[in-house]
Structure formats: structure tokens, C-alpha cells
Amino acid sequence: MIVQGAAAAVATRSFPILGANDSVNLAVVGTGGRGRGHLGYFADVPGTRIAAICDVNQEARERASAIVRKSQGHVPREYSDMRALFEDKDVQAVSVATPNHWHALTTIWACQAGKDVYVEKPASHNVFEGEQMVKAARKYKRMVQVGSQSRSIGHKRKAMAMLRAGAIGEVYMARGLCFRRRHSIGHTPEEPVPPGLDWNIFLGPAPMRPYTKNRFAYNWHWFWDTGNGDIGNQGVHEMDICRWGLGEYGRPKSISSSGGKYVWEDEQETPNTQQAHFQFDGSEIVFDVRNLSSPSEGSSVLRGNNYVGNIFFGDQGYMAVDPYGFQIHVGDEREKTHDEKTHEERIWDPRPHMANFMDAVRSRNQYSLNADIQIGAAAAELCHQGNISYRCRQHLHVDRETGRFVGNGIANAMLTRRYREPYVVPETV
């Protein structure tokens, strides 16, 4: 199998050491909506040459190829199957913008083939996958960065440093807010697979299902086979910031999550309203997902119908952080002691994060990555744990060494999935 060949090759192949000015040949895997963003953003990162593209959809490949021709003036190689791409020795790094259920296997195969990896959030589709991704990155000595771009955004880095310096005293609680106004996806019938789309590879590790429009394109987020709901879509960004601000880099000792899908009568499986609570030894994370209309919370920094951010509570005050800036309030009168805003046109810009990845590809310094795979996998793990508690309708206790749930076989079975051959995340990477 190609994967085994790639793993064997990496053990004997020598890789050139890149200088600071050397161009890196990058391939983008998955060239749908987010992947097209990767094509544009990476084209703006100095020293990045988009050498190849890969997508199971011919129309998406053609569109992506045209983007590269316009932005970089050359024609990238095209692949419909990533396994063939990974045998391309000219490609040194890959950017993964596939649906969630492909993140882990794409990353592991790429590491085995000697490629560095930038993989979109959430790092994994389940907890087991995140563990295997970390193992693969370490075994093959690959740079693997997760697309948690908050880790490279200036005002958020400053806010976290101020928390560490005691700006609000001892931090005991982090609230994550994922209020993204969305709408019902309705119902779409089963129909023939569109020409040019390899539906078998699109589903990959997931069970075979008939093609419907709702299971393709963006709406795959709302089916458990391929997505993780909004806690694992938008919410994983705020979950990562919760961990970052609290300094809680271990597992929680208990998790509870509740909610439901209200109002909408459609095919969506994941909740549109969800509350999750993670208990640590000296602090907690309280996470709120809402896809229906919601008021703002925290401070005037947070605004708009699509409203995401974090509020940190300390024994001396609180801090509100969002894409637009952050504020600090202290004392019983909630005196505002800091109010910092950033430029709106830069709030979602992932290019500094991508540039950080490319710098690490050249330096070979894993510790220079702002969101190494271990960071991204840990944030995703909290989202998965919240979803497991929600789906089991149970309060769960965690063995913090192993990550398994104490005395709950049903919940433990949901830490991984039954993979469809040959798209299996291996026990040994």
C-alpha cells in the first residue's frame, strides 16, 4: 500500500536543509471554500511556491489551478488522490483543508511520506486521531501546525501574557462563547453523484452513504460522520484560548454537556445549542454554543450577530477577548483598566500563522510553532469530550493519565470510530 511505501521511504530518504531564503514547495489538499483561502493566503507568504493541488472534485481542482496560475504564474500539478500526491518527491509540505474526518489520516500519511503539515482546525475528528497525529509528527520529525491562528494574532498573544502577569489576579474560570448565527439546512434528497466527484474518497474513513447535497460542501459539519458540530468548528478556536488563558494543559477531571437542536426541523444531527462544563483542579471552563439569535456578553468589545470570544474571571476582575480586541475590568466597581482594539481588516488573517509554519519548516524547530499539533489536538480533545457527554447524556469522569472515561464503555467507544477500509487511522503510525 502506498502509505507503507511512504513510511519506508522516509526512513532512508535524506531531506535538504532549507535556508532562510529557500522556497518551499507546498501542496494544498482540499480546495473547497477553506482550501481556496489557503491558496490565496499561502501565495502571500514569502518563499512559498504552491507546487500541487489535490481534491476529489474535478471542478474544485480546475478552479484551484486557475487561482494558482493567476497568483503565482505557474501551473500546479493536480491530484485526485492524496496518496499519489504524497509520492511526489518535489513536494516538501502540505496544507490540509479537507473536511474534519480526513484531517488525521491526511496528516499521518503526509508525515510518513516526509512532508511537513499545516492542518486546519479541529486537528482531529475524534480523540484517538489526535493522539496518533502527535505520535506521527514526533516519530517522523515533522513540523505539524494546526490552524488555530489566534496563537499568532498580536492582541490575543498580548492578552494571554497579561493574564499570566496577573492582570486580573488568580484566574479561576474561562468562558468560551461560540454564538454563530446559522440557519436550518433543510432536507436534500439522495441523488446521483455529480460528474467529476469521487464520492468514495470524499467519505474516506466515514461510512458509505448515498450522496446528498447536505452531506457535501459546507454542511458536512453538521453530520457526526464527517463533522463535529459548531463546538468543533468555530468553537475549537475559543476552546483553545480557554486552555491558553487558564494555563490548564492537562485533561479535565470531569465533563458534562447538554443542549439540543431546537426550532429547526431538518437533517442536521449536531446541536444548535450546547453548553459544556469542564472541571479542573483549581479552575473550570464553561463553554456556550448557540446558532440562534443571542445577546452579547462580557463587554462592548464583543459585538455583532456572529459573536465569538472569551471571558476570563479572576479574583480581582475579568478580561473579555474577541477578534476585535480585549478589555480588562477590575474591582467591585468593574473599573476598566485596559481597552485595546485591533484593525478589523486583520482580525481573521491567518497569514502570520502560516508564515510561522513556513519559518519552522526551514528552521526544523518544532518549538517555534505557535500551534504545534499537541496544542491543537488538546483543544480538539476538549470539544470531542463535550460532544461525547452530550451524545451520551451523561456526566463523565476522566482518567487524566490515559484520557479514558472511568467506568463508561459507551463513552470510551466514542473516543474513536469504526473506520472504513482502506481509510483506517493506524494503531501504529
Of 7, 9, 30, which Cα lies nearest the Cα of 106?
30
Dihedral in degrees, nearest 10, Cα atoms 105, 110, 111, 112: 90
pLDDT per residue over 345-388, tens digit each?
Answer: 567 799 999 999 999 999 999 999 999 999 999 999 999 999 99
Q: Which domain holds residue 319?
A: 152-187+212-346+380-408
- Domain shared by 239 and 228, yes or no: yes
Answer for the pair 396, 411: CB distance below 8 angstroms, yes or no: yes
- Domain shared by 73 and 180, yes or no: no
DSSP letter at 229 equals T
Phi, psi of 383, rounded to the nearest 5 degrees: -60, -45
Q: Cis link prior to 46 (omega < 30° from 0)? A: no
The pLDDT of residue 13 is 43
CA 4: distance to chain centroid? Answer: 26
Can you tell me the distance from the alpha carbon of 312 to that of 374, in angstroms, rounded to the nearest whole number? Answer: 23
Residue 44 included in any domain: yes
- Domain shared by 335 and 225, yes or no: yes
Residue 423 included in any domain: no
The pLDDT of residue 9 is 41
- Domain shared by 314 and 245, yes or no: yes
The pLDDT of residue 334 is 86
Domain count, the chain: 2
Of 160, 115, 162, which Cα lies nearest the Cα of 142?
115
pLDDT per residue over 220-245, tens digit each?
Answer: 999 999 999 999 999 999 999 999 99
In which band, very low, low, confident or very high, does the pLDDT at 7 lie, cut at 50, 70 and 90? Answer: very low
Residue 263 included in any domain: yes
User: Which CATH number belongs to the domain containing residue 112 in this structure?
Assistant: 3.40.50.720
- Domain shared by 356 and 339, yes or no: no
Residue 419 included in any domain: no
Residue 73 included in any domain: yes
DSSP letter at 405 equals B
The pLDDT of residue 4 is 42
- Domain shared by 147 and 157, yes or no: no
pLDDT per residue over 32-71, tens digit each?
Answer: 999 999 999 999 999 999 999 999 999 999 999 999 999 9
Residue 415 included in any domain: no
The pLDDT of residue 256 is 98
- Return the higher-pLDDT residue of 347 and 186: 186
